[in-house]
Amino acid sequence: MQKFSLLDLSPIPEGRSASDALSNSVQLAQTAEAAGYHRYWLAEHHNMPGIASAATAVVIGHIAGATKTIRVGAGGIMLPNHAPLIVAEQFGTLATLFPDRIDLGLGRAPGTDMATARALRRHMAPDDSFPQDVQELMAYLGDTGQNAPVRAIPGAGTHVPIWILGSSLYGAQLAAHLGLPYAFASHFAPAMLQDAISVYRSSFQPSDILAEPYVMMAAGVCVAATDAEAEYLRSSQYLAFAKLRTGNPGKLPYPTHDIAADIPRPVLAQVKQALSCSATGAPDTVQAQLARLIDRYQPDELMVTGMIHDHQARLRSFDMAGEILKGLVKRHHQLAS
């Protein structure tokens, strides 16, 4: 593992507002920058009462303006919701405002339910145009000729780094075919992680963008003074995910000491499996759990994420996680030398 980064969904906790969530994200990004995280990504979700990052490009600009050096980007933009030209203009503008600091991760899912997808006014075509849309977007951000009939302005010539995101073999195959970096959503869908990494690395075709494959995996993280406190803090995410899985999404719940009393056993088993690519506990516990994940999957980069109701506890968690991850990166370099 060469680098470590942070994914933020800008969660809206119960008892708080979207304004609070966005303010919290600014403070978290500043904490991440000081702690040595390489990049800070936000994700596009719509019609979700507990997530404030729906207008992802706008929030990225807000975060980039409040930080100085950390890369800021989308993990990701759900391309079926948008015309490629609009995305190119948005991220070309961001790259013009914040040179060499903007990333663009692209997802194939709508990031919402079908009723909301229709409300986004995109043509609900039965065919899959994602590969063509990715290439169209790449062309807009590349060295478009002055005489091209359609150009992204700003955007043309910015070469915003594009990532393919996925939770199955589809994204791995596309990223490998296009010679792009690949990020796997193992923080909520770990089942295909090993196979996707293998397919991506074995079928990777070098490109002008990337000479060798580059994989980023995601993992949940929650660090506290003790294992018990960390489990308590993480219960909010279990509760939120259970509500989502049962069709009742809401704000990020307050934590509980008795998670089994709030989530039916079959649902809790599903939630724990979905969120199993994670590390929760005191610093030593989290260090050991993250080391096992890194040793097993050998990612080039690890992106951590986690939703904690108490904002100060969340800041402390990612600050402590940063120290742990610095040590793991140092260990990687020592083993490689």
Helix (H) or strand (E) holding 322: helix 311-336
Q: How many angstroms separate the first and last alpha carbons of the chain?
A: 13
The C-alpha atoms of residue 39 and residue 327 are separated, in whole angstroms, by: 18
The C-alpha atoms of residue 167 and residue 189 are separated, in whole angstroms, by: 6
Q: What one-character-per-residue DSSP string does 110-174 give?
A: -SS-HHHHHHTT----SS--HHHHHHHHHHHHS---TT-SS--TTTTT----EEEEESSHHHHHH
| pLDDT band at residue 336 using 50, 70 and 90 as cut-offs | confident
Q: What is the mean pLDDT of the chain?
A: 94
Q: How far is CA 67 from CA 34, 60, 225, 307, in A?
A: 10, 11, 28, 21
pLDDT value of position 145: 78
Q: Is the pLDDT of residue 261 over 70?
A: yes
| pLDDT band at residue 126 using 50, 70 and 90 as cut-offs | low
pLDDT value of position 179: 98
12 burial (CB, 10 Å; 0-12 / 13-18 / 19+) is: buried
Tokens read off for 333 = 């370099």
| pLDDT band at residue 217 using 50, 70 and 90 as cut-offs | very high
The stretch 92-117 carries a mean pLDDT of 87
Domain around 49: 3-336
Q: Is the pLDDT of residue 9 over 60?
A: yes
Could you tell me the maximum CA-CA distance found in the chain, to the nearest angstrom?
Answer: 65
| pLDDT band at residue 204 using 50, 70 and 90 as cut-offs | very high
The C-alpha atoms of residue 232 and residue 280 are separated, in whole angstroms, by: 10
The stretch 188-216 carries a mean pLDDT of 97
- Report the alpha-carbon angle 5-7-12, nearest 5: 145
Q: Position 10: which residue type?
A: S
Tokens read off for 294 = 């890194």
Calculate the dihedral angle through the C-alpha atoms of 79, 44, 67, 4, rounding to the nearest 10 degrees: -90
CATH of the domain at 110: 3.20.20.30
* Number of domains observed in the structure of the chain: 1
pTM: 0.94
Across 60-64, 119-123, 224-228, least confident range: 119-123
Q: 163 φ, ψ to 5°?
A: -115, 150
Q: Is the pLDDT of residue 11 over 70?
A: yes
Helix (H) or strand (E) holding 90: helix 84-97
pLDDT value of position 166: 94
pLDDT value of position 296: 96
| pLDDT band at residue 112 using 50, 70 and 90 as cut-offs | low
Taking only the tens place, the pLDDT of each residue in 37-88 is 999 999 999 999 999 999 999 999 999 999 999 999 999 999 988 999 999 9
| pLDDT band at residue 127 using 50, 70 and 90 as cut-offs | low
- Report the alpha-carbon angle 122-124-125, nearest 5: 120
Tell me the sheet residues that pair with 336: none
pLDDT value of position 242: 96
| pLDDT band at residue 111 using 50, 70 and 90 as cut-offs | low
Mapping DSSP to helix (H, G, I), strand (E, B) and coil, where does residue 89 land?
Answer: helix
Closest CA to 236 of 208, 201, 263: 263
